Amino acid sequence: GESVGLHLPTLSVQEGDNSIINCAYSNSASDYFIWYKQESGKGPQFIIDIRSNMDKRQGQRVTVLLNKTVKHLSLQIAATQPGDSAVYFCAEIPNRDDKIIFGKGTRLHILP
């Protein structure tokens, strides 16, 4: 069935280091993937997306990598800052569908 899961529930990273958050998905029909950031008391905030015809996409300090062979998605955050502390969700949108299927989330802790 359709499912999106995360490898690690929490991740602690030293301020200034790079963070890598991983995600596995199981629906090979998904053609659009999104990373969301959720701060306490707020709704999911779009970070970056990638379509299935790409394997890498870069934004400002963030990079998403997609490996369709092993159905793996990752979010890389460069030079992690205190403001990056949040829960990060990967999400997929199956082909010809519009609802978002969210994973369980990874909490990112930034250590001073």
Partner 1 sequence: EPEVTQTPSHQVTQMGQEVILRCVPISNHLYFYWYRQILGQKVEFLVSFYNNEISEKSEIFDDQFSVERPDGSNFTLKIRSTKLEDSAMYFCASLVQHGGGYTFGSGTRLTVV
Asked if 45 touches partner 1 (CB under 8 A), the answer is yes
Element containing residue 73 per DSSP (H, E): strand 72-77
Strand 10-14 to 106-111 pairing: parallel
The correct pick among 77, 103, 106, 110 for binding partner 1 (CB under 8 A) is 103
Among positions 68-87, residues that touch partner 1 (CB under 8 A) are none
Q: Where are the alpha helices (DSSP H) in the chain?
A: none
What string marks each residue from 49 to 68 as x (binds partner 1 by CB under 8 A) or -?
A: x-------------------
What residue ranges bind partner 1 (CB under 8 A)? 32, 34, 41-46, 49, 89, 97-105
